[in-house]
């Protein structure tokens, strides 16, 4: 049996892209406006930003979502290469992608620079074309000293004067990911509408399980609640969980308690790097809340807004007025990696602290 669950790379086939329909509609409402509007897609690591951007920029999606798709020129630029992404890399990429639209496309441009790009945009503007630049991992540009302030001023100028917009992805708000104060304060960022990417909705998770579960004998449809409680609603850990569960079902058949323990141990080990990266990118205040929640410490009323933040990100669920981890494996990771001595436990909570240390000891022994 060949599995269709691919967790190692972004989705490239639009037929395999699941969910995000409301967000796709909101973004296309801005792309399809009388004058295209820029959007910044923000989400944690491996939450599906590249897959979403690829879906948005696909010709199939463009034809489905726009009334006059022929009016639009799409340019998709991943802001990452094996070597450092430089201003020369960016302008060279733009040149290679747009030279076919030049008035004299057979002539080589001796100098690929800001003026070349501006002339290209002006030429397409005269043809009533609308240009959309899809920039994946745009934070690699805002954090790169190779890109001066004038670069961002130039991009804003183009968006202000022509039918051109930018759809970017980053793991945090772009203004928080700038190499200098001058760039952080640039009016360039004012042209963006920020949109957050979070875990999958329940209906999308259901679609994920149903889409590839054609093998009745090894179907995993009945394990939706089990896997979501184990890894949460993020597409990366969910795809991984589905992949390994399918594999285990094929190899062992019956999912006995012993096989279940093996499966959960394997999944925990394979998600270790993901959880580590997620933890490192997380704000200190969010780390503190998760650490306290892991040991059952009461969160003061003054910090409830942080609970709401984590709930929106779908790392925490609220059931019957009680907050709990959306993923038991993430909770285990937090217990293993939080510093117990840094968590201030109120008087009368010594038992909780003892249990916290006991759990850490048991998990480290496994």
Q: Are residue 249 and residue 192 in the same domain, yes or no?
A: no
Domain CATH code at residue 169 = 3.40.50.300
Q: Which residues, in sequence order, are bridge partners of residue 168?
A: 40, 135
Neighbouring CB atoms inside 10 A of 28's CB total: 18
The closest alpha carbon to 338, from 281, 304, 293, belongs to: 293
76 in the same domain as 170: yes
316 secondary structure, DSSP code? E
Looking at the fold, whether 186 and 208 belong to one and the same domain comes out as no
Task: Give the 3-state secondary structure of residue 317.
Answer: strand
CA pair distance 7, 66, nearest whole angstrom: 30
What b-and-e string marks burial along 3-13, b requiring 16 or more CB atoms within 10 Å of the CB? Answer: bebbbeebbee
- Check whether residue 226 and residue 304 sit in a common domain: no
Query: Of the residues 224, 248, 273, which one is the last residue of a structural domain?
Result: 273
Distance CA 268, CA 46 (A): 16
In the prediction, which pLDDT does 41 show?
97
Contact between 295 and 334 under an 8 Å Cβ cutoff? The reply is no
**Do 149 and 297 belong to one domain?**
no
Asked whether residue 165 is assigned to any structural domain, the reply reads yes
Does residue 122 sit within a domain?
Answer: yes
The CATH number of the domain holding residue 359 is 1.10.10.10
Residue 183 lies in a domain: yes
- Per-residue pLDDT at 91: 83
Distance between CA atoms of residues 233 and 228, nearest Å:
6
Domain containing 182 equals 20-197
Sequential pLDDT tens for the chain (366 residues)? 344 677 888 888 898 888 899 999 999 999 999 999 999 999 999 999 999 999 999 999 999 999 999 999 999 998 876 667 788 888 888 888 888 876 654 444 445 567 888 888 998 999 999 999 999 999 999 999 989 999 999 999 999 999 999 999 999 999 899 999 999 999 999 999 999 999 999 888 888 877 655 554 556 778 889 999 999 999 999 999 988 998 888 888 888 899 999 999 999 999 999 999 999 999 999 999 999 999 888 888 888 899 999 999 999 998 887 899 999 999 999 999 876 434 443 333 345 445 554 555 555 554
Domain boundary among the residues 197, 229, 250 is at: 197
347 within domain boundaries: yes
Q: Residue 108, SS3?
A: coil
10 lies in some domain: no
Closest CA to 336 of 357, 309, 308: 357
């Amino acid at each position: 049996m060949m599995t269709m669950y691919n967790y190692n790379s972004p989705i490239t086939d639009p037929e395999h892209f699941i969910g995000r329909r409301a967000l796709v509609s909101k973004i296309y409402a801005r792309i399809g406006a009388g004058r295209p509007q820029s959007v910044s897609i923000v989400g944690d690591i491996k939450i599906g930003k590249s897959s979403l951007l690829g879906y948005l920029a696909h010709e199939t999606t463009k034809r489905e979502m726009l009334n006059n798709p022929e009016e639009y020129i799409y340019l998709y630029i991943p802001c990452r290469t094996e070597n450092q992404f430089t201003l020369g890399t960016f302008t060279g990429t733009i040149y290679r992608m747009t030279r076919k639209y030049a008035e004299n496309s057979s002539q080589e441009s001796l100098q690929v620079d800001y003026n070349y790009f501006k002339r290209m945009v002006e030429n397409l503007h005269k043809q009533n074309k609308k240009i959309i630049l899809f920039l994946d991992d745009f934070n690699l540009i805002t954090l790169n000293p190779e890109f001066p302030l004038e670069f961002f001023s130039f991009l804003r100028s183009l968006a202000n004067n022509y039918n051109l917009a930018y759809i970017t992805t980053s793991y945090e708000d772009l203004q928080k990911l700038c190499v200098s104060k001058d760039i952080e304060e640039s009016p360039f960022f004012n042209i963006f509408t920020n949109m957050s990417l979070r875990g999958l909705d329940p209906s999308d998770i259901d679609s994920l399980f149903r889409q590839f579960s054609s093998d009745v004998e090894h179907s995993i449809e009945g394990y939706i609640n089990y896997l979501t409680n184990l890894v949460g609603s993020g597409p990366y850990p969910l795809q991984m969980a589905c992949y390994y569960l399918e594999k285990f079902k094929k190899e062992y058949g019956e999912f006995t308690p012993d096989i279940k323990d093996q499966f959960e141990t394997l999944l925990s080990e394979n998600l270790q790097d993901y959880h580590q990266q997620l933890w490192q990118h997380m704000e200190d205040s969010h780390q503190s809340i998760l650490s306290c929640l892991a040991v059952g410490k009461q969160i003061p009323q003054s910090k409830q807004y942080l609970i709401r933040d984590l709930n929106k990100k779908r790392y925490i669920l609220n059931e019957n007025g009680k907050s709990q981890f959306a993923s038991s494996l993430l909770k285990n990771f937090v217990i293993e990696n939080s510093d117990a001595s840094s968590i201030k436990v109120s008087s009368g909570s010594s038992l909780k602290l003892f249990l916290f240390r006991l759990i850490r000891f048991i998990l480290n022994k496994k």
